Amino acid sequence: SCLAVVGKINWTMSPLHIPAPVVSLSISPASREDSTKMAKALARFKREDPTFIVSTDPGTKETIVSGRGILLL
Structural domain including 35 reads 18-72
pLDDT at site 61: 93
The pTM assigned to this predicted structure is 0.72
pLDDT one-digit tens code per residue, 1-53 = 777 788 888 888 788 888 899 999 999 999 999 999 999 999 999 999 989 99
pLDDT at site 70: 79
63 in a structural domain: yes
**What is the C-alpha separation between 2 and 50, in angstroms, rounded?**
18
4 in a structural domain: no
Q: What would the 3-class secondary structure string for the chain be?
A: CEEEEECCEEEEECCCCCCCCCEEEEECCCCHHHHHHHHHHHHHHHHHCCCCEEEECCCCCCEEEEECCHHHC
**What is the C-alpha separation between 17 and 33, in angstroms, rounded?**
37
CATH code (residue 27): 3.30.70.870
